[in-house]
Amino acid sequence: MATYPFAADRAAEHERLLRQGSIFDPLTRRLLEASGLAPGMRVLDIGCGAGNVARLAAEIVGPTGHVTAVDVDPAAIEITSAHNTVPTIEYGVADAQTLDGIGDGFDAVTGRLVLMYLSNPAAGLREAAARVRPGGLVIMEECDLEYLWASPQTPVWTRVRSWLLEALEKAQVETRMGPALFSLFGEAGLPMPQLLVGSAASGGPDTLAWGWGNVVAAGVPAMERFGVATRQDVDPATLPQRLVAETIASGGCAIGPLMTGAWAVRD
């Protein structure tokens, strides 16, 4: 059974997800707009974490719309709802694998970087789609973590990439859920989805290498649990700066995970 490997310290994870959101949110906004999410809609967001997708959806559906955002981790919901300033978002605890206690008739369901952590993602996607009315939208966004993290590949980049991928594999996380979304929609009995693929990438002093540094740092407990690498090996306190320095010295750029957005209109 897959477990979420980044939840050892939920307050730190909340901050990490907010920072990570600044990298992914422009891609997600494009996806939500392309899919046809519109003012007045009622949206369900699964695996909401720090609420980044819920807030983007709330902006689009506006004051006449509503977002119900759920996460399996009660600590995540406690922290995220304590920071909530958007009156049209309501947070709650629910497992995306079953969505027990969540009603139906939503105009759309969204989920970003959550199917990759489910032990049965097709069943989770089917449950999510079942909460949407016929004619409503199913919108998912997942990543490919095995895609290049930097170009050129330099020693620290190569080492931390292999440590994190090994730890995630041992935690049974699907590191290539993004490209698998198309077939997953079919497995879940949904119509063929439309796809939007993109990634953030940047070099120079503002390179998003720091973002990868934070992701890898958050993976240290999982690396230690599975005997992949130690905290001393990773040295998370200095990792973001080392990745930035290495990227600048190589004259290259850091590349964010390749994100695949998929959406379909429910029959």
Stretch of 106-114, 177-185, 194-202, 218-226 lying at the interface with ligand SAM (CB under 6 A): 106-114
- In whole angstroms, what is the distance from residue 165 CA to residue 171 CA? 10
Beta-strand ranges (E) seen in the chain are 42-46, 66-71, 89-93, 106-112, 132-144, 150-151, 194-198, 201-203, 253-255, 258-265
Q: Looking at this protein, which amino acid is placed at residue 6?
A: F
Name the residue whose CB lies closest to ligand SAM.
49
For ligand SAM, the binding residue among 32, 37, 58, 114 (CB under 6 A) is 114
* 167 contributes a contact to ligand SAM by CB under 6 A: no
CB of 232 to ligand SAM, least distance (A): 26
The smaller minimum CB distance to ligand SAM, of residues 72 and 150, is found at: 72
Judge contact between 27 and 201, C-beta under 8 A.
no
Q: Looking at this protein, which amino acid is placed at residue 103?
A: G
* 129 contributes a contact to ligand SAM by CB under 6 A: no
- In whole angstroms, what is the distance from residue 60 CA to residue 221 CA? 37
- In whole angstroms, what is the distance from residue 17 CA to residue 13 CA? 6
Tokens standing for 198?
């993109």
CB of 46 to ligand SAM, least distance (A): 6
Contacts of 202 (CB under 8 A, 6+ apart): 208, 253, 254
* 97 contributes a contact to ligand SAM by CB under 6 A: yes
Scan residues 48-77 and list those touching ligand SAM (CB under 6 A): 48-50, 52-53, 71-73, 76
Tokens standing for 168?
């995630």
CB of 51 to ligand SAM, least distance (A): 8
How many residues of this chain bind ligand SAM (CB under 6 A)? 23
CB of 250 to ligand SAM, least distance (A): 28
* 142 contributes a contact to ligand SAM by CB under 6 A: no
* 211 contributes a contact to ligand SAM by CB under 6 A: no
CB of 173 to ligand SAM, least distance (A): 10
For ligand SAM, the binding residue among 5, 21, 193, 256 (CB under 6 A) is 21
DSSP 91-149: EEE--TTT-TT--S-EEEEEEES-GGG-SSHHHHHHHHHHTEEEEEEEEEEEEETTS-S
* 80 contributes a contact to ligand SAM by CB under 6 A: no
- In whole angstroms, what is the distance from residue 130 CA to residue 186 CA? 14
CB of 109 to ligand SAM, least distance (A): 12
Cis preceding linkage at 152, omega within 30? yes
* 132 contributes a contact to ligand SAM by CB under 6 A: no
Q: Residues interacting with ligand SAM, by CB under 6 A?
A: 4, 7, 17, 21, 46-50, 52-53, 71-73, 76, 95-97, 112-114, 117-118
